[in-house]
Amino acid sequence: MAEDRKIAFICSKGNLDMAYPALVMGWAALGNGIDVTIFFTFWGLDLINKKRVDHLEISPLGNTSMKMNLMGIPDPIGRLGIPNVVGMLPGMTAFATKLMNDKMKELGVPPVREYLQMLSDAGAKLYACKMSVDMMKLTKDDFIEGVEDIVTAGDFMDMTEGAQIIFI
Amino acid sequence: MPTRVICGKTVQVNDEGFMTNPAEWDREIAVELAKEEGIPELTPAHWKVIDYCRQVGVSSGKAPTLRQITTGSGLSTKELFSLFPKGPAKKVARISGLGKPEGCV
C-alpha cells in the first residue's frame, strides 16, 4: 500500500441510505492508514446538519430496488415491488426509515451522527461546500462538531491533490 | 503455507504476513511484530488492546473490528488511532497474531 494514499468523498445526497457509503468506506480507509477527506454538498449537508442528522429518512417512493421483503413481508419470488401508490401513503417514509434504522442497528452499524464522530476522531477531515451552505442559508454553527470549515470547490481541488475521489 | 522465524520461533504466516495459527503467538512475538509495524515499544495501553483482540480472536477465531475494539476494550477511537497510527485495523490484528478483521465497522 502506498504510504501516502488519499481518498476524498463527495457526499451530495441526504437520504439515509446514501449516508452510509462514504461512512463505511471512509472508516475502512482510515483503518487501513489512508488519509480521508469528506466534502458535503447540496443535500449531503443534511448529514452534518445538527438538526437533521438524527432524522435522515428513506422513502420507498420511486425506489425500484426497495421490495416488499425489505418491509418484512414474505416474498417467495424475491422481487415483489412496493407500488408507488402505496409508497405515497402517509407514514410510509417513517415506516421504511424505521426498518432501515433497525436493520443497521442489528448489524452493529452506528447511527450517522456517531459514525461521523468516529471518522472525525480517527482523523477524517470534514468540510461543507460554500455554495450549498450559502444557498441553504446555513452557517458553521448549524453543523455538528468535527466539521472543520466551509470551503469552496476550488479549495476542495487544492486539498485533494493526488487523492482518489468518490462521488456519492 | 509459508513460514517465518520470529524471535527464534518458526510460525506459519500468509502471503500478507499475518500469522495463521493463533496458538503460535506469544508476547515476545507481538513485541517484534509491533516493531515491524513502526511501534518501538508496547505500553500498557497497547497491551490492553492486544489482550482484548487475543481474547476475542481465540474465542471466535476472528480478529475484532475497530468498533468492536473500542466498544469492547473501553478505549476511545482517538486513543486507538494514536496508539496504532496509520492503519490500526491491520496493525492490531497482525501484532495480535490474528488474521485481517472481517466486517466493515
| CA gap A136, A139 in Å, rounded | 9
A6-56+116-167 sits in which CATH class? alpha beta
Which of A43-47, A104-108, B2-6, B26-30 is predicted least confidently? Answer: B2-6
pLDDT in tens, A100-144: 999 999 998 999 999 999 999 999 999 999 999 999 999 999 999
pLDDT at B7 over 90: no
User: Could B78 and A121 be called an inter-chain contact, meaning their C-beta atoms sit closer than 8 Å?
Assistant: yes
Q: Is B88 on the interface with A (CB under 8 A)?
A: yes
This model of the complex carries an ipTM of 0.88
Query: Could you tell me the sign of the dihedral formed by the alpha carbons of B32, B36, B42, B46, in that order?
Result: negative
pLDDT tens profile A53-99: 999 999 999 888 888 888 778 888 888 988 899 889 999 999 999 99
Mutate to test the interface with A, among B60, B76, B79, B104 (most CBs of A within 10 A): B104
Cβ–Cβ < 8 Å for A57, A145: no
Give residue A3's pLDDT.
67
If you count residue pairs, one on A and one on B, with CB atoms under 8 Å apart, how many are there? 42
Domain boundary assignment for chain A: 6-56+116-167
- Give the integer Cα–Cα distance in Å for A166 and A168: 6
Q: What is the pLDDT of residue B12?
A: 87
Q: What's the pLDDT at A68?
A: 85
What's the N-to-C CA distance of chain B in angstroms?
29
Q: What is the four-CA torsion angle of A111, A112, A117, A121, rounded to 10 degrees?
A: 100
Cross-chain Cβ contact B81/A122 below 8 Å: yes
Q: What is the dihedral of CA A101, A105, A109, A112, to 10 degrees?
A: 40
Question: Does the structure show a pLDDT above 80 at A2?
Answer: no
Q: Does B82 touch chain A (CB under 8 A)?
A: no
Exposure string for A64-81, b = 16+ CB within 10 A, e = fewer: eebbbebbeeeeeeeeee
Q: Which chain A residues are closer than 8 Å to B67 by Cβ?
A: 108, 110, 118
CB contact under 8 A, B87 and A32: yes
If interface means Cβ-Cβ distance under 8 Å, which residues of chain A face chain B?
A: 24, 27-28, 30-34, 107-110, 117-118, 121-123
DSSP symbol at A128: E
From A43's Cα to the closest Cα of chain B, the distance in A is 25
For residues A29-44, give the mean pLDDT: 96
pLDDT in the model for residue B2: 85
User: What is the pLDDT at residue A126?
Assistant: 97
Of the candidates B1, B5, B23, B104, the residue annotated as catalytic is B104
DSSP for chain B, written as a single string: --EEEETTEEEEB-TTS-BS-GGG--HHHHHHHHHHTT-----HHHHHHHHHHHHHHHHHSSPPPHHHHHHHH---HHHHHHHS-S-HHHHHHHHTT--PPPS--
Active site residue B7: no
pLDDT band (50, 70, 90) for residue B104: confident
pLDDT of amino acid A93: 93
Rounded mean pLDDT of A139-161?
Answer: 94
Q: CB B104 to CB A108 under 8 A?
A: no
Q: Cα Rg for chain A, rounded, in angstroms?
A: 17
Q: Which of A60, A68, A57 is nearest to A84 (CA)?
A: A60
Q: Left if phi > 0, otherwise alpha if psi is -120 to 50, otherwise beta: which for A50?
A: alpha
Q: CA of A110: which chain B residue's CA is closest?
A: B105
What are the beta bridge partners of residue A40? Answer: A11, A128
Nearest to A28 among B77, B86, B104 (CB): B104
Q: What is the mean predicted confidence (pLDDT) over B54-70?
A: 90
CB A144 within 8 A of CB A48: yes
Chain A neighbors of B92, CB-CB under 8 A: none
The span from the CA of A90 to the CA of A122, in Å, is: 40
Q: Does B78 touch chain A (CB under 8 A)?
A: yes
Amino acid letter, A50: K
Cα separation, A45 vs B71, whole angstroms = 28
Greater confidence (A41 vs A69) lies with A41
